Chains A and B, each alone.
Chain A
Amino acid sequence: MSANGNNLLSLKNISKSFGGIHALNDVSFDIKKNEVLALLGDNGAGKSTLIKIISGAYQQDKGDIYLEGKKVRIKEPEDAKKLGIKTVYQDMALFGILDVTQNFFAGDEYTEFGFLNKKKMDEKSVEVLDKLNVQVKSLRQEVRSLSGGQQHAIAIGRCVYIGKKPKLVIMDEPATGLGVEESRKVVELIKELGKEITVIFITHTMDYAFEACERAIILHSGNVAGTVKLSEVTEDEIVAMMMGRIKV
């Protein structure tokens, strides 16, 4: 599995338990380079645990992770970041009382001899906002005062455009809490990103998965219930896999 040159990330027999509860059992799958892969599953299926393992927030009890064919150990978020794996968390992990530029550059500041280059950071913030097609009144605005869509865009922009260019971006329910219009914009953005980077897209909304992704991994009770090409299955079949009724 790890030897395939097309694969960016390969997971092999990943297991994780919390006390007596098996959150993940022998989960294995591959993600190709520049693929937007949907990760689907009901609540408690193990999606969050899996992405937390890939992003370094948890460590697996068993199993291996390969990045571009090389076995890697991701012990903390910093390791994932160094490997080029970044995450847009479901709650966006923004700093509500801090301003737009501060949020963009959390832990990734432009510095000279340790001193912040605020002008350069402001310029880059404007550039990223332009790319995302987001308008804010001022870069000094607290992000908690922005709309849900603007906040999501900032979380995504920070992940993709600030610091080292990521090889893999994990998007955990990036459209949660948004209206239809804003959700659609986020999905469009994910499709755009898929042209230049690899994305794992976790969503509850099947329509978005069908729109943005070619393939999907379906988890059920910590197991892989199916790996499917979305053009070859129906929504009903995926729901059945999510419920554990069929396995592909």
Chain B
Amino acid sequence: MLIIAIFGIVLTISSPVFFTFKNIRSVLMGMTYDLVVALGMTFVLILGGLDLSVGSNVALSSVLTTILIVDTPMPVPIAILAGLGVSVFIGFTNGFLISKFKINPFIVTLGMMAIVRGVARVLTSGYFVTGLPESFLVIGQGELWGIPFPVIIGILIALVFDYLLKHWAPLNRAVYVGANPDNAELFGIKVGRLVIVGFMLAGLFSGLSALFMSSRLAMGYAQFGEMLELRAIGAAVIGGASFKGGKGSIWGTFLGVLLLAIVKNAFVLMDIPIYWQRVVNGAIILIAIATAMINRQKD
């Protein structure tokens, strides 16, 4: 919070554009894609897992939904549901393999990352899917009081998910699973089921991000969501999530995503070559993750 405030003040002083409605709107829009995915990642981290396939999931969901809309007579809402369904199915497969066969989440989701990205590329041969109808584009490009729909929906999802995670017993039990899955099992908590639900939610949130991205940018693209898994993990960890499980908060993750978005915005406003952005973003995430790992060792 303090770092974000310092960044905000420095940028406000150094750039007259930073604290304008247009720029803030642009920052919020830019962070929404990451925020939605990071919500699911936070839940998976609380469960003691990790999902590297979220970025690829975004790509496949985007490609599949747009192909169904453009190349088949399928109605837009059904195509959207199909895209979200595939995202959830990817999550289910991850969760099932991890909980049923006790395979490390890193291995399962790394493999899934490659498979899913590969399928998205096969489906498009590397081309964009364009020619999307207005009824689809309105989801990403529509606005309410000048605020894009995805920003409003993204923030609403974050608020609802935050409340459910803190107060709704079936989701709140994730903290027990993450803190000690064996003990959680002893107290009658269905660990395997909750792990599957967690990865399905991560999948669903990836699908929503894909929906916002495709409809906002008016295309399906197999390169969507590149490095998104790293940003989502980084944001959650910056926000206090632990690799050891049992800890993490939606508010913290929101601040983590916001910090990365402000840094990105600073590059644009301060005219620094955009190629440096990945380097700095990567360094911030690396420092956050390294700090989390050091804290874990201290524990």
Contact = CB atoms under 8 A, between A and B. Distances in A.
Interface secondary structure of A, over-half rule: loop
Given A97-B246, A107-B173, A77 B179 contact: no
Given A89-B186, A98-B246, A107 B176 contact: yes
Contacts of A118: 167
Interface in B166-181: 167-170, 172-173, 175-176, 179-180
B176 A94 contact: no
A1 interface: no
Given A95-B179, A97-B246, A116 B172 contact: yes
A106 B168 contact: no
B101 interface: no
Given A98-B176, A116-B168, A77 B246 contact: no
Given A95-B176, A98-B246, A107-B188, A114 B183 contact: no
Contacts of A246: none
A196 interface: no
B175 A109 contact: no
A26 interface: no
Interface string B99-135: 0000000000000000000000000000000000000
B143 interface: no
Contact of B183 (A81, A106, A108): A106
B187 A108 contact: yes
Contacts of B168: 114-116
Nearest to B173: A107
A63 interface: no
Interface in B130-182: 167-170, 172-173, 175-176, 179-180
19 contacts: A57-B186, A93-B183, A94-B183, A95-B176, A95-B179, A95-B180, A95-B183, A95-B246, A96-B179, A96-B180, A97-B244, A98-B176, A98-B179, A102-B175, A107-B184, A107-B189, A109-B172, A114-B170, A116-B167
Q: Sorted from nearest, which 4 A-B pairs have the closest CB atoms?
A: A107-B187, A95-B179, A78-B188, A93-B183
